[in-house]
Amino acid sequence: MVSSLRTHRHAHYPPPWFSVAPMMEWTDNHYRTLARLISKNAWLYTEMLAAETIVYQKDNLDRFLEYSPEQHPIVLQIGGNNLENLAKATELAEPYKYDEINFNCGCPSPRVAGHGCFGARLMLDPKFVAEAMSVIAAHTDAPVSVKCRIGVDDHDSYNELCDFIYKVSSQSPTRHFIIHSRKALLNGISPAENRSIPPLKYEYFYGLLRDFPDLRFTINGGINTVDEVNAARRAGAHGVMVGRAAFQKPWHTLGHVDTAIYGAPSSGVTRRQILEKFQVYGDSAVGKYGRKPTVRDVARPLLGLFHSEPGNGVWKRKADAAFLHCTTMKSFFEETLVAIPDHVLDSPIGEPSSGGEDPFANIHTLLPPAYESREQELLYA
């Protein structure tokens, strides 16, 4: 219920030095519940929600927008290309008190970028993005931000990226940009290939820090460990966003965030303790909307919890079998956790692995030439 959520946004939250990327069909309520049990400080993002979904489901909003107060700080990501629907969707989401509203200008999926022309394709229309951000900001008390790529198809020069940032920031209240440091290729490759085939150009991101000192930038793309997060921050990034690693290896990634990034003392929490709390949540969630969610839906984020640990393979096989007939999280755990040795379940997170190459060590020697805005031409284009 909306009434169970915080009614203000003035609580003190840690800065967004580390955030978990919005990932379709991954960063749902179930995953975010697990993530918050592991890390108290990471900023969490919803899956992208299309503005039309929110508008058309206005009588069923809890299913899409509800979350527990423990999930703060949390950001709602929305997508769309219709200003009226973006306004309505933001207004409908406002009672849920998200800590920031993020607009998707980075998704390369054909379902998003092609049909309906939103996601990464919007980078080709910064004037519209500025209008959209102004509309979103007018209907919420939360800060607003944009998540984008460094370019689209052949529109991939540093100056074109700067033109986009300049136009959106100068014509809207947007002061925070999350930059996926690859361009998007909209034709011919899949979303998965878009996360690996276009080369990373971190020098573009750090160029933005130099050329737009009054804005805030979060780096995304190819960063998988807390060591790399801290390296990016030492090089000057205001924040770092991690995607797949935080879902596929939640214990080994999120388990180090509070201590290694935020400097908090170790909580000493174990995976057994996390699963005991997750079971309470899970059994309240299973079947909440008729036949959905199922035990499989709720338990899916747990499948990486024992990554590389003894018993992990057996645990996953037992989970696959249990999904066929278990109707509660309690019975699911009773059937599957016998595969995991007690010392794995009862040990707190160990020290983070270190010693990898610093991908940002020489980044400031690689920066593109400084941006010189074509102010009049851009503002009136």
For residue 332, the one-letter residue type is F
**Structure tokens given for 151:** 């370019």
User: 221 a known binding residue?
Assistant: yes
CB 167 within 8 A of CB 218: no
Residues shown for the chain: 381
Sign of CA dihedral 47, 48, 51, 56: negative
Who's near 300: CB < 8 A, 6+ residues apart? 30, 31
69 known ligand binder: no
DSSP 182-205: S-B--SSS-HHHHTTSSPP-HHHH
Apex 296 CA angle, 293 and 297, nearest 5:
40
Residue 188 assigned ligand-binding role: no
Q: Tell which residue, 104, 133, 130, 102, has the closest CA to residue 117.
A: 104
Q: Is 243 annotated as a binding residue?
A: yes
Q: Tokens 């996601």 sit at which residue?
A: 119
Q: Is 180 annotated as a binding residue?
A: yes
Closest CA to 121 of 92, 144, 101, 151: 151
The Cα–Cα gap between 221 and 223 comes to: 6
Residues designated catalytic? 107
Rounded alpha-carbon distances, angstroms, from residue 83 to 46, 87, 140, 369: 21, 6, 14, 35
Residue with tokens 């010693």: 355
Q: How buried is residue 66: exposed, middle or buried, by Cβ count under 10 Å (0-12/13-18/19+)?
A: middle
**According to the annotation, is 24 in a ligand binding site?**
yes
Binding residue per annotation — 198?
Answer: no
Q: Is 244 annotated as a binding residue?
A: yes
Q: Residues forming the annotated binding site?
A: 22-24, 77, 147, 180, 220-222, 243-244
Annotated binding site for FMN: 22-24, 77, 147, 180, 220-222, 243-244
